[in-house]
Amino acid sequence: MLGLGTWENDDPAQCTESVRNALNAGYRHVDTAQIYGNEAAVGDGIAAADVDRDDVFLASKVWIDQLAPEDVIESTRESLDKLGTESVDLMYVHWPAGAYDPAETLPAFAELRDEGLIDRIGVSNFEPEHLDAATDALGETPFANQVEMHPLLQQEELREYAANNGIELVAYSPLARSHVLDDPVVTDIAEKHAVSAAQVSLAWLREKGVTAIPKATGEDHIRDNLASLALDLDDEDVAAIDSLGRDRSPAESGLRPGLVAEPSTTREFRTGFAAGAPYQSSPISRCCSPVHSSISKRYPRTPRIGCAAENTFGCHAFSIALRSSSHSPSSTAVIRPATETLSQSYTD
């Protein structure tokens, strides 16, 4: 119920070391993605650890410009080469955007599974309507849906959907990019149990049946996150954290879920979009300039990356507009997260 996330862990030596340290400390689930640019370093870390590859649950994700059927196959083979493995335990569709077309993309994932290159098919950042379409295309539900989830963004609808349909829910950013560490409800519970606030957030996710994949590079934070597995929250603790989602207005919690419209219109994906409070969500990057450089260099076919202080609540926001080959030329899928400068010392 706990894995190591590797988003933004793009220094090869640091990434290799953090993966090795995590596995040696007791982690057995490592999450990466093509867009992270660190699959080779993740593979090196697994190879360097005192753990057999067969004991590691390894997951990666196919980026949105690689979701045409032939690109799914080719890019996954490239990922396996970088990771230094014959197969991965789970391969996700990273976003339902770009070249994604459930009727064409997902059968390619099924082909990869039939060939033994992936063991399970997952999706990421999918809403219920996306999951319905994916299930129709596959003839089965995806194994997992990876979404942003934490005490400040509790994803009740998706949790209910996952429970009713037998889908594993995996939480990225389970510490809300360090913002849960300052929440008074969370810190009070942490003081009560003499543990860190990070452990409280991760233990709450475990109570909800969700697998958290916090990112960490320092060995102390790696071990602190792992210690959450020994923390048992009582009913009062869980209810208090649950109230963070129920009893606060969007402005008070800092979240305003985005809307998912029909494919023929502009689509905004729910990622904890800002509502004028301290918490901001950024599933692609912490700031605009690294996005421009890293995505443009790694994926030159990405049609347009726009950056503007366009959020009406005053925060600096960027949007990535990606034309989907499965829709009309005028159809554009837009991911609009808010961005901010975040702490490097304790990230998730």
CA angle 79, 83, 86 (to 5 degrees): 85
Residue type, 277: A
Strand partners, 58: 30
How far is it, in rounded angstroms, from Cα 96 to Cα 130?
7
- The torsion defined by the Cα of 167, 172, 174 and 176, in degrees rounded to 10, comes to -130
Q: Which residues are CB-contacts of 249 (< 8 A; sequence separation ≥ 6)?
A: none
Identify whether the C-beta of residue 159 lies closer than 8 Å to the C-beta of residue 208. Answer: yes
Identify whether the C-beta of residue 227 lies closer than 8 Å to the C-beta of residue 195. Answer: yes
Pairing of strands 29-31, 4-5: parallel
- Whether 161 is catalytic is no
Of the residues 27, 36, 100, 346, which is catalytic?
36
How far is it, in rounded angstroms, from Cα 98 to Cα 105?
11
Q: Show which residues are catalytic.
A: 36
